[in-house]
Amino acid sequence: MKDQQIISGLQIDVSNALPSVGDRRTVSGTGSLRLEDVYDLDFEPGDDVAWKFQVRRIAGGVEVTGSISGVVTLACYRCLEGFEFRLSLEVREHALWLSEAELEEDEEPATEYMVTDGVLDLEPIIRDSICLAFPAVRVCDEACRGLCNVCGANLNLEPCGCDTGHVDARLKPLEELKKRLESG
């Protein structure tokens, strides 16, 4: 019961859970992640993605190590359809724990992660780790044909038959000749 109060979801009450340097705890959880934007994830209850971290109190902060695995649905750049991306990654991050005075003096702390009011929020760590693991080119398949730029049909499903106006440069002289013959 005690654990549920000091570790609720993604929030860890560090002052109570890890009172001294060297103290450690294992934190695990699951969620479903919805992609809002290119690098914007929203957490929802679910079990598509699972994480397990060891959170350790260190001098001046907290160290978070562990792993994240599961599946996130991304949108294909070419055809815009959702496709499943399988995650399996290791996490090793630090969160700084500064006093109020130190915070004011150092306007831009060197690390992005902070223990605020004695509480560590794991959500930004999980979010950033997952976004960094995404493929640089998000396509459902290397061979994805994308959308027709005339009618918008998904060309993976069926050819739409549109004249996309694209003519191979090498065929240009032949096309010119055809036009001349037709008009003459």
Amino acid at 59: A
Q: How far apart are CA 52 and CA 48, in angstroms?
A: 14
Element (H, E) at 108: none
Give the shortest CB-70-to-Zn ion separation in angstroms: 21
Nearer Cβ to Zn ion (50/153): 153
Site string for Zn ion, 71-100 (x = CB under 5 A): -----x-xx---------------------
Nearer Cβ to Zn ion (166/170): 166
Residue at token pair 């979801």: 9
Nearer Cβ to Zn ion (119/160): 160
Provide φ and ψ at 84, rounded to 5°.
-85, 130
Nearer Cβ to Zn ion (110/143): 143
Element (H, E) at 171: none
Query: Does 49 help bind Zn ion (rule: CB under 5 A)?
Result: no
Site string for Zn ion, 124-163 (x = CB under 5 A): ----------------x---x---x-xx-x------x-x-
Provide φ and ψ at 108, rounded to 5°.
-120, 95
Neighbours of 174 (CB within 10 A): 11
Binding stretches for Zn ion (CB under 5 A): 76, 78-79, 140, 144, 148, 150-151, 153, 160, 162
